[in-house]
Structure formats: structure tokens, C-alpha cells
Chain A
Amino acid sequence: MKGKSALFWLGLAAAAGGVLFQTSYEVQELEDKLGSLNRQIMDEQEAIQILKAEWSYLNDPTRLESLASQHLQLQPTEARQFVAMDVVPMRPVPPPDAPKAGDGLKNDGKHDGVAPLPPMVRLAPSAPGTAVASGSNATNNGGIIPASLPSGMATPAKPAPIKPSTLIPGAGKAPALPAAKAAPAPAPTIKQVDVAARPTPSQPTPSQPMPTQTASAPSSTVKTLSVPAAKQPAAQPAAVAAVPAPPPAPKATDSIGVLVARLGANR
């Protein structure tokens, strides 16, 4: 009896010792892990600090200005490019019997008879500092205003010379009209080309891939293939062709037309 109880206690003590050692080793291991994690955190924090410093260094206004003058064709904003918010008319509702431009185009709801708003009208009151005077965006992007506006300020791939003729407000809409009858596909591609020369809006329509993509991998739409070779010449006739046949503009857009023409007049 005596021996048994002694054995029991001995076993208990041994088990406790074993558990203790086990736990102690586990704790030690965890603490080592914690230590290495702490070191890692410190390293990351230091890296963040360095990256922050580098970010500010790269954002040095002097450097940005020289980069902007090298790669952009934008000029500092002038006072005449700002208009008050109440001057801008509401976006006109498309007439119900608008010409169905989107027969062959699938997501063409945005090409409906909506006159383009000049981008600076939207940008001016909220972000004057970043409201770059990109008058040609209005025509290039057609009616895709909300989506393309932010991307207009992204870093552009290639600056295109700003053509005064593209500043006529009806130009953005015009290509859709002849396109509806003759060939559904070319109209958007021409537009896409012009857009590609500018900052590309980041919403490629699934049915029509961007010209740059088609150039590398020829896809099913054969008509788009010939376009990328001559980007500028292709875009120019489109804009010119648009001028003679301006759409029947709603009355509300008329003042905007005057406004846009004047804003871009002195360029």
C-alpha cells in the first residue's frame, strides 16, 4: 500500500515535470518566434519609413514639373478655364426617338445622343489644382464622361497634339451616326485609337478590344486590324468628317458649345 502510493506520487511528479518541461520548451519556442516577428515588424516599419521618404522625394514638385513638361502637353491652368458650378447646365435627357446608333454595338448605351460635357467643367470646382486643361478629352471620349475623367489624369502613354478641330463639341458624337449605317465596328475603333493616343480609359469594352491589344494578338474583329498602323492620320479624318455633319444639338448644349469653343479658342 505504502509502496503503491509512493509510486503514484512519483509518477505524478514525473508527469508534472514532463508537462512542465514541455510547456517551457513551447514557451521558449513561441518567444523566439515572437522575437523574430518583432524584428520583422521593425524591419518593415523601417522599410515603410524609407519608402515614405522615397515617395516624397519622387514627388518633389521640381521633379514633377520637369516630368510634366517632358511627357505631357498640358499647360498651367488659367483663370479663364474655371467656371462657376451654377453656370453649367444639367445633362440633357436624350430624346426618346434618338437615332439608334448602337445597332451593331453591344454596350453602346453611353453613345446615345448625349452631348459631351467639357471635362474642366466637372473638375474645376472640386479640384482646381489637378484640373488640367485637357480640352480634347471631351471629344475623344465621346459620351463616356464619368469613367474617363479620372483616367484622363492618369499618366498618359503618349501625348497627342491638341487639334483645335477636335474641340467642336459635336465631334464626339458624330462618328456614331454614319457608323450605324455603313459599318458598325470601325466607328468605335477609330474612337478607341484616338483614346489610346491619350490616356486610355480603363474600361475596355469586351466586344471590341483595344487596338493595341489587337495589334499583338489578332482577334476575330478583322476590321480593327488595319487601324493601329496609322493612329494620327486615322483620327484626323474622323474628327474632320465629324464637322460637316453636326448632329441636331439640343438647345441646352448650345451654350456649352459656345463655352467650350471659347475656352479652347486661344490655344
Chain B
Amino acid sequence: MNDQPPGFDTPLSGPPPGAYGVPPPASKPRTSLSVALERSRNRLMVTAAMVTLVFTAIGIKLVDATLLSHASEPRQRMAAEIDAPPVNRADIVDRNGNLLATSLATQSLYADPKLISRPDEVAKKLSVALPELDYKELLGKLTGEKRFVWIKRNLTPKQQAAVFRLGLPGVYFEREERRFYPASNLASHIVGFTGVDNNGLSGLEQSMNKRLVNEPNKPLQLSIDLRLQHILKKELTATIQEFSAIGATGIIFDVRNGEVLSMVSLPDFDPHEPPPLNDKAGQDALFNRATLGVYEMGSTFKIFNTAMSLDSGKIKVTDVFDTTHNVSVGRFTIREYHPFHHNLNVAEIFQESSNLGSLHMALTVGVAAQKAFLTKLGLTRPTALELPENGWPLVPNPWREINTMTISFGHGMSVSPMHTVTAAASTINGGVLHPPTLLKRDPAAEVPGEQVIAPQTSAMMRRLFRFVVTDGTAKAANAKGYVVGGKTGTAEKQKGRHYERNSRMSSFLGAFPMHDPRYIVYVLVDEPKGTKKTYGFATGGWVAAPAVGRVVKQIGPLLGVPPVDDASPEVINATYINTAGQTIPPGPPPPPAQSKGSTVASVPPPSGKQR
């Protein structure tokens, strides 16, 4: 108190100390001064409370942000993952790991027209750097009102460098991915293709779209073998050219586990530039004849007819059926391709491909049994193949006797080639129907399958298959050392309401090696025309069987099938059958005619005894 400035002395020390503490006597004039003081104090209190509140909140948040929740700033840089692919869609590889489809990162060029001051100059420069761009169209884009226009998508690195060098403002790159198919046409029907935004539009790209997007690290491995694919396509192309056909399809199938090793449908297309859907040739190229196309298979169906007959127990292989009298039903007459002059037994009916014999066999078994059997073989539903292009069979409804008759030799019911191959595999592999798949099966996992016919029936079917090639309609399919067996098929195509004599579907279903079947090779040729070399014939035995023989010769070594001597006793014992239906070879088969080559018995002799 004593060091107060003297000037303040007078007014403050006027009233005695404590004079303010005592309220003035409660007289009337409590004066406006004291009221104002009271009010301002209250206001101060409120303001102080507000400030305290806010600062407390900030303080709490500060402690929380710096100490409690995230002690430091979120890191901006993380180390890149080692195995992460730089793309968002998984590769597709074949069974040996060869790439069938992959994604490549590319740069796409876009522009913001608002930021381009001289569109004409920019357009001119760009159309020089990228000659495929049209100047006028580009100028139209760049002078538009939009804030974003694509100029060109998926540039090559060279093109990108060229545009970079121009240094144009308002023109930018965006990283995109583009699907690339190294095998291009070779697997186009299997792999399919994607749209501009990398969504699958056909083939496995479509059906496996989710899997490809969800697990981009793991390539999708198919059961397809690129080498077989190439061989099959080469031979089909040659066949199409030789017989001026309009198309062809081929399948190589593993009978033991249902893997499709190769599937070709010609004509095919380039998946980088899929043909337009609105044009007929484009539709034809996109059409997968192997799975989506359903056809009347013709005589190949006699495989199922014979297997059904033998499996029913009502018919033995030595039973003889009438093959000399044509059968008339309504306005149709069912006749043979080549008339026979005597009745044939089951083995001969299969060997010579007799329509009438098959018909009588089917009638003996019965309508309901036939329907049940074909259903069991999966011929009345789409196959389990993973493709979106999976055809529904055309099944007669109602299933009458006339249908049973025609189905017995492959008319009146249409299935896809994949159906035929899958079902035929079950007739020769011991009677187990494996669902077909395009994905490589895990060798450790059990192969799904269902026993559809008895193993004995299957063993007999093998002999019949071999019989067709050694002495029947498909001698051209033989490939020395690989014991090929099979069944030809020739169906007349239905155009409108009646069958065309000269437009056929000629096919051959071959399997090898017949003493222990491993693979089926199926070839179907659409509308082949006979040539001079084939004496004008265009049947399955002339058109498709030689192609299968050539394919087997080339793929046998690739598949690791050991070649055997066709005349060796094991092979003969496993595949012999004669026209009388006997399966015991007559006497011991002649030993291989080698004078000093006893150590090379497994090599087929140069001078073949087999045709």
C-alpha cells in the first residue's frame, strides 16, 4: 500500500478501507452504476466459461491426437509388396504355365478442353504424333464443353514418349490396364476376351471374372495344353482347306479325369479385336462349335446305343439283328447308307455303322431305358464345363418310339461335341463319367466321377472301338504305335424341314491307346465337300478320321504315351474282336518278325502289318 503512486492516493483513499465492502444502505437510488457492474461481471463469467470450454476441448483433442490414438502422423510411404502384381486382374496360364492372358499397364491419353487455349494447334500436333487420330474429330473434341475427353486409350510406350515430347498443357495421361493374349487366336474360344474396362465378355474371362479380379496374385491355370491346341488347330485348318468346309471343331480330352486338353473351334477370332456381333462372319467366328453348337451327331451316337444295349444285359455282342429290310415310320423310311445283303451281329453293326441294326437294338432295350441311359450320360443337360457358352441339348419331347429309332443312329437329338466326348469317355474308361473341366485338376484331389456303365461293358466297347479302326470305317485314323480306336459319324444337316443330302457334319471320335485308353481326340467338320482324292466322299471316315490319325501321331509323344507294337500279344489280347463277335484271338499272335532284334521288341517294325 505504501508504494502506491501518489497520484492515486486521493481518489482511492477517500473513503476509508472497507467502505465498498459494506453495501450502501438499501436506499432507493441503487444507482445504475451498480446494476451495470453486476451485468458486466455476469457477462465476463459466461465468456470465461466459453473460452475455458473451448480450450479444454482443444487440449483434450490435442492430447488425444498426439499421444493417445496415433502417436505420429500416418506414414505416407510403405514398402512395396514383393509379390504383388502391378495389375488388378489375374493371369490365365495353360497347364504348363504358358501365358494365355495377362494384363499390361498402359497409359491412356485424355484432355481437359477448358485448359487448352489453342485447340487447333494442339490437335495438329497430336495428330502428327499419333497419325491414327483424325484431326477434325480431335479438334471437335478439344473445342467441346466437357471437362474430360479421351483422346486415345492404351498408348504404346513409344506413342507416350512422342506425346510427352510435345509438352502440351491440358493433356494428361492416366494409367490403365489392358488385357493381352499372347496366344491370340489359338485359345480365343476358351479364354474369351474382355471389354474396354476389363470386364470379361466371353469365355473364361466372363465366367471366371470374379475369381480373376478377387485373386490377382494367383494365375488361373487351365487344363489346356498350348502345344496340343496348336497341333489340333493346324490339322483342322488343313482339313477345312482340303474339303472346302465352312468350319470345324476338335477336342482332346483326358478320359481319366475329364480334363479338356485342347478345344478348337474354327473359324476363330482375335481376342484383341473381337469381331462385331452385328455381322454374320463375326457371329460365326465368335460361335463356339465345340460347346455352344448342338448338332445331330449321326453314327457317333451308336457308341451310346451299343453301350446301352450291352449294358442292359438284354443284348450280347454276338446277337444278330435284321439289317436288310428298311423300316418305314409314317412318311419316313429309314435305310442304310450302304445297303447290307445279310443280317449283322452287334460287332458288325458297330463296325459297319448300320442304322437298321442300331434301330433294332434300341427297340429291344426300350424307349424308357434309352431315355434314362442318355440322361445318365449327361446328354440331356448342359455339360459342367466352366464356359458361359454352354449349349442346351435339343431333346425330343415327348420321347416316342420314332425318336428312339432315330436317336439310335444319332438323329432327332442334338448335343454339343463336348457332350459327345464326355459321354464317350465314360464308355471306354471303365464306365466312370467324369464331368469335363477346363481348369487343371489338383493331382492330389479325388477326381469326381460317377459309375454309369459296368466295367465289362466298357472293356467290350474298347474292343469295338479298335475294331472300327482295324477293320471298319476308320482305317485312315490308325497311327502306328498308338493303337487308335474310334467311331466315325456322318450326319446330314437339317435345313428347314428336311435333311440336305450334301451338307453334312462329318466327325470322328478317336481314342488311344485302346488297350488302356488315355485320351480322346474328336474332330467334327462342318459341311465338307468330297474331293477327287476321296472319290467324292465326304463322310467321317474320309474327312475326320485321317485328321485324327495325324493329330494322334503328333500328340502321342507330347503326352508321353509310350508307343507299343500294335501286334504285340498284350495289345491284341486287350483289343481283339472279330466279325463273329469273338474276343479270343485265334492262336498265339505271330511274334514280331525280327530276326535279330529281340531286344527291340517294343519298336514297331518298319514294315507294318496293320493297315
* Nearest A-chain residue to B557, judged by Cβ: A128
Q: A78-B553, A258-B596, A262-B606 are in contact. Are A128 and B102 (CB under 8 A)?
A: no
With an 8 Å Cβ cutoff, the count of chain A residues facing the other chain is 40
The interface residues of chain B lying within 8 Å CB-to-CB of A45 are 84-86
The interface residues of chain A lying within 8 Å CB-to-CB of B44 are none
How far is it, in angstroms, between the C-alpha of A51 and the C-alpha of B603 when the chains are bound? 43
Are A87 and B600 within 8 A (Cβ)?
yes
Pick from B104, B182, B603: contact of A82, CB below 8 A.
B603
- Give chain A's interface secondary structure class: helix
The interface residues of chain A lying within 8 Å CB-to-CB of B230 are 61-62, 65
Are A49 and B563 within 8 A (Cβ)?
no
Interface segment out of the listed B73-81, B205-213, B299-307, B321-329: B73-81
Give chain A interface residues in 19-56, CB to chain B under 8 Å: 31, 34-35, 37-38, 41-42, 45-46, 49-50, 52-53, 55-56
Q: A45-B85, A53-B180, A83-B602 are in contact. Are A38 and B104 (CB under 8 A)?
A: no
The interface residues of chain B lying within 8 Å CB-to-CB of A60 are 182-184, 186
The interface residues of chain B lying within 8 Å CB-to-CB of A215 are none
How far is it, in angstroms, between the C-alpha of A131 and the C-alpha of B604 when the chains are bound? 18
Are A49 and B85 within 8 A (Cβ)?
yes
Pick from A42, A56, A76, A84: contact of B182, CB below 8 A.
A56
B292 at the interface (CB under 8 A from A): no
A255 at the interface (CB under 8 A from B): yes
Are B599 and A35 within 8 A (Cβ)?
no
A59 at the interface (CB under 8 A from B): yes
Are B482 and A49 within 8 A (Cβ)?
no
Are B554 and A76 within 8 A (Cβ)?
yes
How far is it, in angstroms, between the C-alpha of A168 and the C-alpha of B87 when the chains are bound? 57
The interface residues of chain B lying within 8 Å CB-to-CB of A55 are 99
The interface residues of chain A lying within 8 Å CB-to-CB of B491 are none
How many residues of B sit at the interface, in one of the four size bands? 35 or more
Are B80 and A41 within 8 A (Cβ)?
yes
Are B600 and A129 within 8 A (Cβ)?
no
- A210-241 Cβ-contact flags toward B at 8 Å (1 or 0): 00000000000000000000000000000000
The interface residues of chain A lying within 8 Å CB-to-CB of B229 are 61
Pick from B79, B558, B602: contact of A34, CB below 8 A.
B79
* Nearest A-chain residue to B72, judged by Cβ: A27
How far is it, in angstroms, between the C-alpha of A227 and the C-alpha of B230 when the chains are bound? 43
Pick from B87, B183, B480, B554: contact of A56, CB below 8 A.
B183
* Nearest B-chain residue to A82, judged by Cβ: B563
* Nearest A-chain residue to B180, judged by Cβ: A53
Pick from A49, A78, A79, A255: contact of B105, CB below 8 A.
A49
How far is it, in angstroms, between the C-alpha of A131 and the C-alpha of B98 when the chains are bound? 20
Determine how close the nearest CB of chain A comes to the CB of B594; give it in whole angstroms: 9
Q: A52-B99, A128-B558 are in contact. Are A80 and B603 (CB under 8 A)?
A: yes
- A53-97 Cβ-contact flags toward B at 8 Å (1 or 0): 101110111100100000000001111101110010100000000
How far is it, in angstroms, between the C-alpha of A128 and the C-alpha of B230 when the chains are bound? 17
B479 at the interface (CB under 8 A from A): yes
The interface residues of chain A lying within 8 Å CB-to-CB of B79 are 34, 38
Determine how close the nearest CB of chain B comes to the CB of A59; give it in whole angstroms: 7
The contact sample of 20 A-B pairs, CB cut-off 8 A, is: A34-B79, A46-B86, A46-B104, A53-B102, A53-B104, A55-B99, A57-B182, A59-B182, A60-B186, A61-B186, A61-B226, A77-B557, A78-B481, A78-B553, A80-B603, A84-B562, A128-B558, A128-B560, A255-B596, A258-B596
* New A-B contacts (15) at CB < 8 Å, excluding given A53-B102, A77-B557, A255-B596: A41-B80, A46-B86, A52-B99, A53-B104, A60-B182, A61-B226, A76-B553, A83-B600, A87-B601, A87-B602, A128-B560, A129-B557, A259-B597, A262-B600, A265-B606
